[in-house]
Structure 1
Amino acid sequence: MYKKILAVAVATAVAGPAMALDVFDDGTNSLSIGGRIGVVAKSKDGDNTLNNDSARINFKFAHKFESGWTGVGVAEWGFRAKDEYTDIKNSVGKVIGSEKKDTFFNRLGYVGLNHDEIGAFTAGKNWSVTYDVSGWTDMYAIGGGNAMGIYEGRNGGDFDGSARADDTIQYRNSFGGLNVGVQYQMQDHSVTDARRDSGYGLSASYDLAIGLSVGATYSETRYEETTQYAGQDKSKSTTAGLKFENENLYLAAMYGEFRNKTELGDKLNAKSKGVELYGRLAMDNILQGFSLQAGYNELKDDSKTTADQTKATFKETMMGAIYETGPMQFAVEYAKDDSKNMDGKKEADNTLSLQARYYF
């Protein structure tokens, strides 16, 4: 059970040959180092770019106590394998220069105690309990995860408690096939116009022997009301889904309803609905390590008040392939974007992406 709890608590949201180097293990104390580095070449609207592929490095420490408890410490930083820059704009929105982004940035950092029967307790910055279920469809090799509100909110999913949640105390446990997660997020504020009072999240899923799992999540975050977010002092997220997996096939579907959580048309939507689908089929009989994948993400406004409504929608269909060999992963994804702007017109362009990634 301990391994199952730890696998959930340290979810990395990647398809691929995830690896880690066991640096030290004397049966009581252990240290492992893992991560990945990669690049993605993208072709969109005639532009060809080479981008970072969400590189990161992590350190995982553990100490086994005689009482049956295990103490854990996890630290993970993302880093930019190549320099990236952000635009600097003046008061009227004109770009007047650029600024280099930080090379390293925090992704995870928490301490905890685990017990085979009692469960796992952690405190710090960790993957949210919402992600324990909502992440079932966030399995694209390159893109995806755009319709379940995971990475969205006033200052992104970390601040909002749905991605790598900041300032959290969490509890997870498994009872046979039943998996549960509880999360409380403490007060904090950002450099922009937002201050979080508190937040909480709940998740539950059940694994059947045939490889089928069903699950649901609920989360709510409270904010101090500000001029920028007048009437939006609370965000809510409710998701439900299922997945099926065996040695060759992985299928997952998620449905979500959100309030003051997602963005369409450059505005925080009063209400919205999202759907995500993902499938991957291993083709080892043709080529060892080769698989085909497909996915679909759709998010639309569901606000009832005319003043809150927007015609903007996000709709994307993906087809691709993945090849894994040793510590390396190579992937291609073609994303057909049928999204619409606030006027209800299609302006998005399709994207072809090629990836090369090395796990360590």
Structure 2
Amino acid sequence: MNKTIIATALAAIIAAPAASAAVQVYQDNTNQFTFGGQLDARLITDQSLKHSPNMVSKGTHVSFNFAHKMSDGWTASSVFDWGFDPFGGKGFTTTPKDQLDTGDSKIKLTSRLGYVALSNDMYGTISFGKQWGVWYDVVSGTDNAVIWGGSADGAYTFSNNGATNGVGRADRVIQYRNTIGDFSFAVQTQLQQDSVDLTAVNMDGNFGPVAPMNVTEAERKDENLLKAAKKQYDKYHLATIEYNNTYGMSASYTLMSDLQVVVGGNIGKFTSTYKDSSIGKSQRTDYIYGLGINYGNLSHEGLYVAANVNKNQWHQADVNGNMLPEAVGVEFYTAYNLGNGLRPYAVFNHLQSNEDYASKAGTVVESKMQYAAFGVAYSWDKNIFMYAEGKVDFSDYKTVKDGNVTKSEGKNGFGVGIRYKF
């Protein structure tokens, strides 16, 4: 069996953060077919949830992977990866506010990945379809906590896994990758026109009247002033955005066997409408760029450390689902594989809006998402994976509502769960 076929098929499975214990269904001298997936069950208790504890499933999916050897050293491969909630009901999302998703009790299949690729050891790989965006190369090293994490790296925007703007599980992407010695690079373009309704992303649903920060307490009670401020708010905050094509790149260099540096970015233009419907449409640019550093290997015994930092514009959202004109995100993850199936770990996420955002009369005038999570994971064998994780939230949000400035803080949480990998 050609080793390129095996490598291509397995790479599709292990590329995702939660790898499955793939089962080889068929192989011959030309073809290989593997099947994998996992079922996840967890109990979550969180101060921001109306009902706690809550039983949910996260990351449950099935994956079909095919590889076919062709002439002249080329290999064709394809991946179909579908996620679903086997328990029904509403799911749990680890957004900054950690609220329950809307949904019904029916089991729904969602496309996680679906693409076809052509690979050659010399000429690289070109792939077409729904796949991990090249921006994820930069931040994937920190995306290894089980319950919380991935809130500041910009890969999971709009609660749809970054599909719309090409940074996470990107829709309709053409991607090229190649490796030359210790240097690897990737470029992509996303061929789609997709829109997002930010009023649906919004987590509160009721903004209330707002007021500028630089007025007296008496002026805050002035009804006319509040109406003017509300119009100012609507003028600066977006209701819908419609993306055209997006573009991304990444490059990595392995300094030594256990140390890798990755840089990359993603950019796309979108047309926006405002919450004040009398204002016409405008065009804005969504970009994110940054640096990631990874040391060690999670599957090997010993220390693993990863960190990344990014700067972004019109890419992330605040606690109410409003777009941030500019923000800086930082993530850190460390773990120690004890070699007996146990892996204690810690994660830190920080997303801070810039002062320009605070100067605009929005309902959230200061936005700092920041939390740490600590957990332990245990692999009983290749199929059974158990975990416990707690979150300590240091977030700070200053909100203007009903003419008054109020301060809210993040909510702590804890969860335990088990995964069966197949």
The residue identity in structure 2 corresponding to 1:20 is A
The one-letter code sitting in structure 1 at the alignment partner of 2:193 is D
1:289 to 333, 336, 341: 341
Q: 2:295 is paired with a residue of what secondary structure?
A: strand
Q: Is the 8 A contact 1:264 1:310 kept in 2?
A: no
Give the whole-Å Cα distance in 2 for the aligned partners of 1:338 and 1:262. Answer: 19
State the SS of the aligned residue for 2:351. Answer: strand
CA distance in 2, matches of 1:293, 1:103: 32
Of the three residues 208, 219, 222, the one matched with 2:266 is: 219
Q: Pick from 239, 242, 245: which aligns with 1:195?
A: 242
Measure how far apart 1:349 and its partner are.
1.9
Structure 1 counterpart of 2:168, from 153, 163, 166: 163
Q: Which has the higher helix share?
A: 2
Aligned to 1:349, what secondary structure does the other structure show? coil
Distance change (3 Å), C-alpha of 1:70 and 1:355: same
Structure 1 residue ranges (4+ consecutive) displaced by more than 6 angstroms after TM superposition:
none
Whether the 8 Å contact between 1:58 and 1:77 is mirrored in structure 2 is yes
Please name the residue that 1:183 is paired with: 188
1:27 equivalent in structure 2 = 29
* SS of 2:117 mapped into structure 1: strand
SS in 2 for 1:62: strand
1:52 aligns with 2:57: yes
| Alpha-carbon contact 1:5-1:119 (below 8 Å) kept | no
CA deviation string 1:205-258 (max 9, x = no partner):
111224100011110011233335955522000110101005311100100101
Residue matched to 2:314? 260
Give the paired residue count. Answer: 345
Q: Does 1:115 align with 2:120?
A: yes
Once the two structures are superposed, residues 67-104 of structure 1 have per-residue CA deviations (whole angstroms, 9 ceiling, x without a partner) of 21101111110011100248xxxxxxxxxx97335521
Superposition pairs of residues 71-110 of structure 1, within 5 angstroms: 71-85=76-90, 99-100=104-105, 102-110=107-115
Residue deviations 1:272-305, cap 9 Å, x none? 0010000010123xxx101110010000101525
Q: TM-score, normalised by structure 2?
A: 0.76
Question: 2:17 aligns to what?
Answer: 13
Change beyond 3 A, Cα 1:23–1:231: same
Is the partner of 2:81 in helix, strand or coil?
strand
Q: Structure 1 pair 85/153, CA: closer, same or farther in 2 (3 Å)?
A: closer
Q: Cα–Cα, structure 1 residues 50 and 85, in superposed 2: closer, same or farther, change >3 Å? A: closer
Shift in CA distance, 190/116, structure 1 to aligned 2, threshold 3 Å:
same
Write 1 or 2 for the structure with the bigger share of strand. 1
Gaps of 5+ in 2: 92-101, 198-239, 400-405
- Other structure's SS at 1:239 match: strand
3-state SS, counterpart of residue 264 of structure 1: coil
| 1:339 has 2:390 as partner | no
Seen in structure 2, the aligned counterparts of structure 1 residues 238 and 261 have a Cα distance that, compared at 3 Å, is same
> Which residue of structure 2 aligns with residue 92 of structure 1?
none
| Percent identical | 29
Q: Secondary structure at the match of 1:356?
A: strand
1:275 maps to 330
Over the aligned positions, Cα root-mean-square deviation in angstroms equals 2.4
When normalised by structure 1's length, the TM-score is 0.89
Distance 1:250 1:144 in 2: 16
Residue in 2 that maps onto 1:90:
none
Q: What corresponds to 2:303 in structure 1?
A: 249
| C-alpha contact (below 8 Å) 2:9/2:77 kept by paired residues | no
What is the deviation of 1:128?
Answer: 0.6
- Structure 1 unaligned segments of length 5 or more: list them: 87-96
Q: How far 1:180 moved relative to its partner?
A: 0.5
